[in-house]
Amino acid sequence: MPTQKPTPGTPFQPIQVSKLGGGTLTLGQAEDGYEWQLIVVYRGKHCPICTRYLKEVGSIVAPLNELGIEVVAVSADSETRAADQIAEAGIQYKVGYGLSIPQMQEMGLYISSPRHGINVEGPFAEPGLYVVNEVGELRMVDIANVPFMRPQLESLVGGLKFMRSIAGDLPANGTFA
Question: What tens digit of pLDDT does each residue of 24-82 get?
Answer: 999 999 999 999 999 999 999 989 999 999 999 999 999 999 999 999 999 999 999 99
Residue 154 lies in a domain: no
Domain, as residue range, for 103: 18-147
Residue 174 lies in a domain: no
- Per-residue pLDDT tens digits for 119-128: 778 899 999 9
Q: Tell me if 129 sits within 8 A of 141, measured CB to CB.
A: yes
Residue 71 lies in a domain: yes
Q: Which of 123, 94, 95, 132 is nearest to 14 (CA)?
A: 132
Residue 155 lies in a domain: no
Residue 133 lies in a domain: yes
- Which domain CATH number covers 139? 3.40.30.10
Number of domains making up the chain: 1
Residue 50 lies in a domain: yes
Buried b (16+ CB within 10 A) or exposed e, 82-105: bbebbeebebebbbbbebebebbe
Residue 167 lies in a domain: no
pTM recorded for the entire structure: 0.94
- In angstroms, the CA 24 to CA 1 distance is 24
Residue 121 lies in a domain: yes
Sign of CA dihedral 162, 165, 170, 175: positive
Helix, coil or strand: residue 78: coil
Q: Tell me if 82 sits within 8 A of 20, measured CB to CB.
A: yes
The per-residue pLDDT for 177 is 65
